Amino acid sequence: MRIALLSIGLLLLTLPSALNAQESYDPHPDSIKQDGVPEGKVEGPFTWHSEIYPGTVREYWVYVPAQYDASNPTPLFVVQDGLGLANQWKLPIVLDNLIHQGDVPAQIGIFIGHGQVPPTNENAQPRFNRSFEYDSLGDRYARFLLKEILPEVSKTYNLSTDPNDRAIAGTSSGAICAFNVAWTRPNEFRRVLSTIGTYVDLRGGGAFPTLIRKFEPKPIRVFLQDGSNDLDLYAGSWWNANQTMLSALNFAGYDVTHAWGEGGHNNKHSASIIPDALRWLWRDYPDPIKAGVAPKRRTDILIPGEDWELVSDGHLGQSGLAVNGRGEVFFSAAESGSIHKIAIDGTVSSVVDTGTRIDGIAFGPDGKLYTCQNDQKQIIRYDEKGTSEVVVDDTSSAKIIVLNDGTVYFTDPLSHCVWQVQNGSEKVLAKAFPDASPYEIAASPDQSFLTVTDSLAFTTHSSLRNSDGSLAHWQEYGLLERVDGVEGTPANPVISAALDIAVDTEGRMYVVTSLGIQVLDPLGRVHLILNKPQSGVIQGITFGGPDHDRLYVSSRNQIYSRRIKAKGVHAWDTPVSPPKPGL
């Protein structure tokens, strides 16, 4: 396949140098029908009734190139706002020409409209779902495409499931929707065409530049277009927002380019450059699009080329991770009541079978594994031989830590309390949270402070630990990033799901949330967000390995790990003094 190599300078030279009052643009030669070019066909409209967006009805069309070969998986191009936008961009003609020239691969186009909920009264307006579907953050629209539309089209056409073979595009709210789909599902879509994108605060889209800067880079290629006379309304300036998006994408190391003009909030400018934009998006195909490398960050823990690796699979309902002094990682399969060990060589073995549900687990300085067993209303610890001993009886518990001096703390979301264990088995109230549900608990490297998460909120709480083990001066401290609509727990898909914490020698806290693994500096600010290994909820996190420089996470029925430029500290170990943080 011949792929046109188009430099950014050449692309910009093809754009109009000035715009008159009517924003007149000459049509691009590849937007005009050409002799001898095989013509694809546009089928539809087809009607779709959604379950993810209940009650909505929409139409979609399918472009099938003349070169379509049903025996091979075919690349895919999804466009929001249906055939109307596709015709404004002259996409059927453009795709015919570019495919024939060999500048883009033969691809199926899905031109899909936004949903509407029809009224029962013929004189009433429907509920227009466009802004809700397109402007909202989170993965709901991605799930709609992946679970409803693509499977339906796949019944007729052989669609590629390779994310490198998938592009998605839109204009205005459809543009932020296209970017959001690739952002939340880079394992499904990796090429984004965004024109006059609505990266403003209609429904939280203004957060994207900050999220882009904080997240580790994702394997996405982005083309941005906008004009200096775009909208400037209550939600923000479209022109400024698109430039801020470009700045953020460049900062984070993305493969991104742009076409700026002087136009307003319309598709005239974009229609004149669509062929060149598509050439740029598909350049070097089929070489895979890879995540970029950001310049050095203040929190510089990423290792280029290091990503999540699957360690273990098939254990139902992991709920906790713990590590011993050798760096061996233990995890509990909550529903089966078994505890497993991941040895240094990666082998997995069962060490304890309790026969009852296990929630939080943690090692103590005595080398014993402490477990929260709510079905038994007990906290039980095990030695290396599997011999058990009841630590606390008649109690509810979720997460537990044991400090180097032997002090035990555990959380109880049901009573909204954090408890301390004294005299070996007596629980004493450490702190009550009448309006919160304390869940995970962690200690600072010097063990002077404790941090507690609230799985229903987006803050962490910090407390000074007095010399006698009592807790004082509680306050909200860490502020977690949030995005509504991210697929979280089955019971609540939009909670923070802050289910576990790991701590490194610098005093940074790695908080697992529905958004990703949020790395907070000692001042409680999110510096970096690590991508989740897959879209599901993460239940546990810890540092492990012989050098304690590998992060381990449990997610659904799987355990993953990755190496980073940081070393973990554990509550059972000797306290260490972290460096003073940058204020």
Distant-in-sequence, close-in-space partners of 525: CB < 8 Å, separation ≥ 6: 478, 479
CA distance readout (Å), 437 to 371, 498, 509: 20, 11, 19
Peptide linkage before 286 cis (omega within 30 of 0) = yes
Q: Rounded to whole angstroms, how far apart are CA atoms 455 and 411?
A: 12
**Any idea what DSSP says for residue 193?**
E
332 within 8 A of 320, measured Cβ to Cβ: yes
Q: Rounded to whole angstroms, how far apart are CA atoms 308 and 325?
A: 23
Cβ of 479: how many Cβ atoms within 10 Å? 14
Q: Rounded to whole angstroms, how far apart are CA atoms 151 and 531?
A: 26
Q: Rounded to whole angstroms, how far apart are CA atoms 532 and 189?
A: 16
Closest CA to 339 of 318, 324, 323, 325: 318
**pLDDT value of position 484:** 63
Helices (H), 18-75: none
* Owner of token pair 């929190």: 299
Q: Rounded to whole angstroms, how far apart are CA atoms 502 and 497?
A: 15
**pLDDT value of position 497:** 60
Which token pair is 108?
Answer: 């199926």
SS3 115: coil
Domain ranges of the chain: 32-281, 309-569
Which token pair is 571?
Answer: 């509550």
**pLDDT value of position 204:** 93
Q: Rounded to whole angstroms, how far apart are CA atoms 422 and 319?
A: 26
Cβ of 36: how many Cβ atoms within 10 Å? 5
Exposure string of 95-127, with b = 16+ CB inside 10 Å and e = fewer, is: bbbbbbbebbbbbbbbbbbbbbeeeeeeeeeee
**Any idea what DSSP says for residue 279?**
H
**pLDDT value of position 24:** 84
Beta bridge partners of 431: 418
332 within 8 A of 315, measured Cβ to Cβ: no
**pLDDT value of position 39:** 98
Fold of domain 32-281: Rossmann fold (3.40.50)
AA letter at 374: N
**pLDDT value of position 493:** 41
413 within 8 A of 438, measured Cβ to Cβ: yes
- 309-569: in CATH 2.60.130.10: no
Q: Rounded to whole angstroms, how far apart are CA atoms 539 and 555?
A: 6
Residue by residue, pLDDT tens for the chain (583 residues) are 433 333 333 343 334 334 444 678 999 999 999 999 999 999 999 999 999 999 999 999 999 999 999 999 999 999 999 999 999 999 999 999 999 999 999 999 999 999 999 999 989 999 999 999 999 999 999 999 999 999 999 999 999 999 999 999 999 999 999 999 999 999 999 999 999 999 999 999 999 999 999 999 999 999 999 999 999 999 999 999 999 999 999 999 999 999 999 999 999 999 999 999 999 999 999 999 999 988 778 899 999 989 999 998 877 666 689 999 999 999 988 677 889 999 999 999 989 888 888 889 999 999 999 999 988 999 999 999 999 999 999 999 999 999 999 999 999 999 999 999 988 888 999 988 888 889 999 999 999 999 999 877 888 999 999 988 889 998 999 999 987 655 444 334 444 568 899 999 999 999 998 889 999 999 999 999 999 998 788 889 999 999 999 999 998 789 999 999 999 999 999 999 999 988 8
AA letter at 402: V
Helices (H), 15-145: 82-88, 91-101, 130-135, 140-144
Rounded to 10°, the helix 268-281/91-101 angle is 30
**pLDDT value of position 4:** 37
